[in-house]
Chain A
Amino acid sequence: MAVSVAPRGTLVRNDALQRVLAFGALIVLFVVFSLASPNFLQFNNIVGILLATAVNGVLALGVTFVIITGGIDLSIGTVMTLAAVVTGVVITRWNLPVPLGVLVGLLAGAAAGLVNGLIIAKLKIPPFIATLGMLNVAKGLALVISGLTPIYFNNAPAFNTIAMGSVTGAIIPGFNIPNAVLLFFLAAIIASLILTKTVLGRYTFALGSNEEAARLSGVNVNAWKIAVYTLTGLFSGLAGVIIASRLNSAQPALGQGYELDAIAAAVIGGTSLSGGEGSILGTVIGAFIISTLTNGLRILSVPQEWQTVVTGAIVVVAVYLDIVRRRRG
Chain B
Amino acid sequence: MDNVVVLMEGITKSFPGVQALSEGYFELRSGEVHALLGENGAGKSTLMKVLTGIYPKDSGRILYKGQAVEIPTPKAAQDLGISIIHQELNLMPHLTVAQNIFIGREPRSGLRFVLDEQQINEQTRQLFDMMHLQLDPRDKVGDLTVAKQQMVEIAKALSFNSEVLIMDEPTAPLTETEIEDLFRIIRQLREKGVAIVYISHRLEEIKQIADRVTVMRDGRYINTVGTRDVTIQQIISMMVGRTIYETAPEVPETADHETVLEVKHLNRGRSIKDVSFELKRGEILGVAGLMGAGRTEVARAIFGADPIDSGEIIVAGKKAPIKSPQDAVKHGIGYLSEDRKRFGAALGLDVETNIALSAFQKFLRFLGWVDSGKTRTTADHFVKALAIKTPSVRQKVRNLSGGNQQKVIIGKWLTANTDILIFDEPTRGIDVGAKSEIYKLLNELSSQGKSIIMISSELPEILRMSHRVLVMCEGRVTGELPIAEATQERIMHLATQRESYL
Q: Which residues of A contact B (CB under 8 A)?
A: 1-9, 11-12, 197-202, 205-206, 208-210, 212-220, 276-277, 329
Which residues of chain B are within 8 angstroms of A216 by Cβ–Cβ distance? Answer: 54, 74, 86, 90
Q: A3-B325, A197-B114 are in contact. Are A12 and B297 (CB under 8 A)?
A: no
Q: Is B99 an interface residue (CB 8 A)?
A: yes
B326 contacts A3, C-beta separation under 8 Å: yes
A12 to B92, CA, bound (A): 11
* Cross-interface CB contact of A198 among B100, B114, B156, cutoff 8 Å: B114
A5 contacts B143, C-beta separation under 8 Å: no
A329 contacts B307, C-beta separation under 8 Å: yes
Q: A3-B326, A6-B343 are in contact. Are A199 and B106 (CB under 8 A)?
A: yes
Instruction: Given A5-B325, A12-B93, A218-B75, output 5 extra A-B contacts at Cβ < 8 Å.
Output: A1-B326, A2-B357, A11-B143, A210-B91, A329-B307
Which residues of chain B are within 8 angstroms of A329 by Cβ–Cβ distance? Answer: 269, 306-307
> Can you report 24 A-B residue pairs in the complex whose CB atoms are below 8 A from each other?
A1-B326, A1-B360, A3-B328, A4-B325, A5-B303, A5-B337, A7-B305, A11-B142, A11-B143, A12-B94, A198-B115, A199-B113, A199-B114, A202-B115, A205-B92, A210-B90, A214-B92, A216-B74, A216-B90, A218-B75, A218-B78, A218-B104, A219-B104, A276-B94
Q: Is B103 an interface residue (CB 8 A)?
A: yes
Closest B residue to A213 by CB, please name it: B90
A213 to B342, CA, bound (A): 14
Which residues of chain A are within 8 angstroms of B104 by Cβ–Cβ distance? Answer: 214, 217-219
A5 contacts B105, C-beta separation under 8 Å: no
How many CB-defined contacts (below 8 Å) exist between A and B?
A: 112
A114 to B274, CA, bound (A): 58
Q: Is B381 an interface residue (CB 8 A)?
A: no
Q: Is B329 an interface residue (CB 8 A)?
A: yes
Of residues 284 through 322 on chain B, the ones whose CB sits less than 8 Å from some CB of chain A are 296-297, 300, 303, 305-307
Q: Is B175 an interface residue (CB 8 A)?
A: no
Q: How far does the Cβ of A5 sit from chain B's closest Cβ, in whole Å?
A: 4
Which residues of chain A are within 8 angstroms of B106 by Cβ–Cβ distance? Answer: 199, 202
B95 contacts A209, C-beta separation under 8 Å: yes
Q: Is B26 an interface residue (CB 8 A)?
A: no
Over the window 94-119 of chain B, the binary record of Cβ atoms lying under 8 Å from chain A Cβ atoms (1 yes, 0 no) is 11000110011110100001110100
Q: Is B202 an interface residue (CB 8 A)?
A: no
Of residues 45 through 76 on chain B, the ones whose CB sits less than 8 Å from some CB of chain A are 54, 73-75
Which residues of chain A are within 8 angstroms of B105 by Cβ–Cβ distance? Answer: 218
Q: Which residues of B contact A (CB under 8 A)?
A: 54, 73-75, 78, 86, 90-95, 99-100, 103-106, 108, 113-115, 117, 140-143, 156, 269, 296-297, 300, 303, 305-307, 325-326, 328-329, 335, 337, 342-343, 357-358, 360-361
A205 contacts B114, C-beta separation under 8 Å: no
Q: How far does the Cβ of A257 sit from chain B's closest Cβ, in whole Å?
A: 31
Which residues of chain B are within 8 angstroms of A7 by Cβ–Cβ distance? Answer: 305-306
A206 contacts B305, C-beta separation under 8 Å: no
A217 contacts B103, C-beta separation under 8 Å: yes
A6 to B93, CA, bound (A): 14
B99 contacts A202, C-beta separation under 8 Å: yes
A276 contacts B92, C-beta separation under 8 Å: yes
A218 contacts B73, C-beta separation under 8 Å: yes
Q: How far does the Cβ of A228 sit from chain B's closest Cβ, in whole Å?
A: 14
Q: How far does the Cβ of A189 sit from chain B's closest Cβ, in whole Å?
A: 15
A217 contacts B74, C-beta separation under 8 Å: yes
Q: How far does the Cβ of A54 sit from chain B's closest Cβ, in whole Å?
A: 27
Closest A residue to B343 by CB, please name it: A5
Which residues of chain A are within 8 angstroms of B141 by Cβ–Cβ distance? Answer: 12
B115 contacts A209, C-beta separation under 8 Å: no
A214 to B92, CA, bound (A): 8
Residue with the greatest number of chain A CB neighbours at <10 A, chosen from B74, B104, B297, B342: B104
A3 contacts B358, C-beta separation under 8 Å: yes
A212 contacts B115, C-beta separation under 8 Å: no
Which residues of chain A are within 8 angstroms of B297 by Cβ–Cβ distance? Answer: 8
Which residues of chain B are within 8 angstroms of A277 by Cβ–Cβ distance? Answer: 94
Closest A residue to B86 by CB, please name it: A216
Which residues of chain A are within 8 angstroms of B307 by Cβ–Cβ distance? Answer: 329
Closest B residue to A329 by CB, please name it: B306
A198 contacts B92, C-beta separation under 8 Å: no
Closest A residue to B75 by CB, please name it: A218
Q: A8-B306, A214-B104 are in contact. Are A197 and B94 (CB under 8 A)?
A: no
Closest A residue to B54 by CB, please name it: A216
Which residues of chain B are within 8 angstroms of A11 by Cβ–Cβ distance? Answer: 93, 142-143
A2 to B325, CA, bound (A): 9
A12 to B269, CA, bound (A): 18
Q: A1-B329, A2-B357 are in contact. Are A214 and B306 (CB under 8 A)?
A: no
Which residues of chain B are within 8 angstroms of A2 by Cβ–Cβ distance? Answer: 357-358, 360
Which residues of chain A are within 8 angstroms of B117 by Cβ–Cβ distance? Answer: 197
Q: A5-B300, A8-B300, A12-B143 are in contact. Are A210 and B305 (CB under 8 A)?
A: no
Query: 7 smallest A-B Cβ distances: which pairs?
Result: A12-B142, A209-B92, A276-B94, A218-B75, A11-B142, A213-B90, A5-B305
A6 to B114, CA, bound (A): 36
B92 contacts A213, C-beta separation under 8 Å: yes
Q: How far does the Cβ of A79 sit from chain B's closest Cβ, in whole Å?
A: 24
Which residues of chain A are within 8 angstroms of B99 by Cβ–Cβ distance? Answer: 202, 206
Q: How far does the Cβ of A86 sit from chain B's closest Cβ, in whole Å?
A: 28
B306 contacts A199, C-beta separation under 8 Å: no
Closest A residue to B344 by CB, please name it: A5
Which residues of chain B are within 8 angstroms of A5 by Cβ–Cβ distance? Answer: 300, 303, 305, 325, 335, 337, 343
Q: How far does the Cβ of A282 sit from chain B's closest Cβ, in whole Å?
A: 15
A199 contacts B115, C-beta separation under 8 Å: yes
Closest B residue to A220 by CB, please name it: B75
Q: How far does the Cβ of B110 sit from chain A's closest Cβ, in whole Å?
A: 11
Q: A209-B92, A218-B75 are in contact. Are A6 and B326 (CB under 8 A)?
A: no
Closest A residue to B116 by CB, please name it: A197
A206 contacts B92, C-beta separation under 8 Å: yes
A79 to B236, CA, bound (A): 64
Which residues of chain A are within 8 angstroms of B329 by Cβ–Cβ distance? Answer: 1, 3
Q: A5-B343, A6-B342 are in contact. Are A200 and B113 (CB under 8 A)?
A: yes
Which residues of chain B are within 8 angstroms of A201 by Cβ–Cβ distance? Answer: 115
* Cross-interface CB contact of A206 among B86, B95, B328, cutoff 8 Å: B95
A202 to B269, CA, bound (A): 33
Residue with the greatest number of chain A CB neighbours at <10 A, chosen from B54, B108, B325: B325
A214 to B103, CA, bound (A): 7
Which residues of chain A are within 8 angstroms of B90 by Cβ–Cβ distance? Answer: 210, 212-213, 216-217
Q: A6-B342, A199-B113, A219-B104 are in contact. Are A1 and B361 (CB under 8 A)?
A: yes
A150 to B419, CA, bound (A): 72
A11 to B74, CA, bound (A): 27
Residue with the greatest number of chain A CB neighbours at <10 A, chosen from B90, B360, B361: B90
A201 to B108, CA, bound (A): 13
B93 contacts A209, C-beta separation under 8 Å: yes
Residue with the greatest number of chain A CB neighbours at <10 A, chosen from B94, B95, B99, B115: B94
Q: How far does the Cβ of B431 sit from chain A's closest Cβ, in whole Å?
A: 24
* Cross-interface CB contact of B74 among A3, A209, A215, cutoff 8 Å: A215
